[in-house]
Amino acid sequence: MTDSVVNSRTINRSGLIPNSYHAKFATRRNGYARERPINPKKSCVDQGTTALARADSAKQTMQTAARISGMDAMGPSLGMAFRLRRLEVQSELAHLISNQPGIGRADVARITGMARSTVSDHIQPLLDTGLFNEQKARYAGRGRPSLGLTLNARAGIILVADIGITHVRLVVTDLARQKLAEDALPPDYSVPPETMLERIASRFQELFQTQQLVDIPLRAMVVGIPSPVDFERGVPVRPPIMPGWDGFPVGEWLEKRMHVTVLVDNDVNLMALGEARSRPPSESPLIFIKVASGIGCGIITQGGALHRGADGDAGDIGHIRVAQASGLTCVCGNTGCIEAVASVPSIMRQIRVAKGDETIELPELGVLVSSGDITAIRLVREASAQIGEVVATLVNMFNPACIVLGGKLAHMSDDLLSGVRAAVYRRAPPLATRRLSIESARAGRDAGIIGGIALGVDSALSAHGLQKLQEATPGTAGGVGMAD
């Protein structure tokens, strides 16, 4: 027996996921996602986000495989020195089982390259906590029927609060991404942040009571807000339209109130993540452009991860300077920003000036465009062309596989799509556009919710989430929840 064989077996049995993990795991999970395509007409939230779970598997695999292959590239001895910790291995196995319900231990061992005894050693603690169930598998073959592993959806729930300029959507799902409850609130930015967050927390509490969910432990809460966010601290930074929220510790305040891990992110980032998780891996890298009260974008890497930048401000394209906005003051205080000339409020301001009618309200833009108003259509097309110039620059920089357009302007008119396409194909080089797809959002208004659910489940099944689960005293898991 050669040394390489001995080393390979030693690594497998010690708990380190070996080199073969990259090829086997990625191929199986990516293939699984492609075999079950997304239905663009079906709401992922209303249908329990089954499609999200399938596409999610490929994204998780690519991130994991990239990290592990990076370790292997450093050499066998150094790679062994940087072994994945036990909880990190359990986290990867938890994602695999979550995205391939009914998979048996033998299949897990075959896909990961780990010894079956090592797989059992890692999975048993997760069974003991009630995170997974083991029952007769759907792929039973010859001989003794095998057992399949499935995620116990009732082992925890995820809360998502999608806070926008004109809406606050609240959704409760289980770990299998099945929607359990949903509600909505009118936002009120005239009150202190504590008051608005307390209303959100209280409404979640009411949903727990009415839907009889009080005995199910909370695993994560995700909050999306229309502001640049310091993701690590859960703090909005200089929000242009949320007075009093600058520097307020949203994550910390809600963690104390709800007794659960709280993740706070920019709303466009969650929308980008939702769109990416609803699509096959071949459509990443992906850039999601939102054009509404402001203009922003979310960036998804080729591995399916959100690119937030060093401080969480990546994608704030609304404040890129353009010649057409020269002399116009933006809400950020600067002049010449694309948002000052091409956002929905800016378009409405130009319509009022052109028509000499200051009584035209923001919601009327969609009516004007759909009714064929010449002034409205002209201004929307001009704004779309200007946005397209900025998007062409992003294409030159990031070379994405897919550009997705969302927000109010994308929903009310196809002019944004055609304007962006025309500018990008005119301005970007052929190599960057020969396989580029530019299209409207598939998830629509559910994109932020889907992204929030994905982020919450990722957190619950992360090494940190599993550690908290295993540290919980037996018999008290049901008591982990909201404050009285």
Q: Give the model confidence (pLDDT) of 74-117 as tens digits.
A: 444 333 333 457 888 999 999 999 888 889 898 999 998 899 99
- Is the confidence at residue 129, as pLDDT, over 80? yes
Q: What is the band of 153 on the pLDDT scale with cuts at 50, 70, 90?
A: confident
Question: Rounded to an integer, what distance in angstroms lies between the CA atom of residue 171 and that of residue 53?
Answer: 17
- Is the confidence at residue 466, as pLDDT, over 50? yes
- Residues 291-305: what's their mean pLDDT? 94
**What are the pLDDT digits (tens) for 340-373?**
999 999 999 999 999 998 888 888 898 999 999 9
pLDDT computed for residue 138 by the predictor: 53
> pTM, whole model, 2 decimals?
0.80
Lowest-confidence segment of 15-19, 200-204, 227-231, 250-254 by average pLDDT: 15-19
pLDDT computed for residue 254 by the predictor: 98
Q: Tell which CATH classification among 1.10.10.10, 3.30.420.40, 3.40.50.10860, 3.40.50.12280 matches the domain 3-151.
A: 1.10.10.10
In this structure, what token pair is assigned to residue 317? 């394209």
**What are the pLDDT digits (tens) for 191-228?**
999 999 999 999 999 999 999 898 899 999 999 999 99
Q: Which CATH superfamily is domain 282-441 in?
A: ATPase, nucleotide binding domain (3.30.420.40)
Q: Where in the chain is the domain with CATH 3.30.420.40?
A: 155-270+450-479, 282-441
Check whether domain 155-270+450-479 has CATH 3.90.45.10, yes or no: no
Question: Rounded to an integer, what distance in angstroms lies between the CA atom of residue 113 and that of residue 105?
Answer: 12
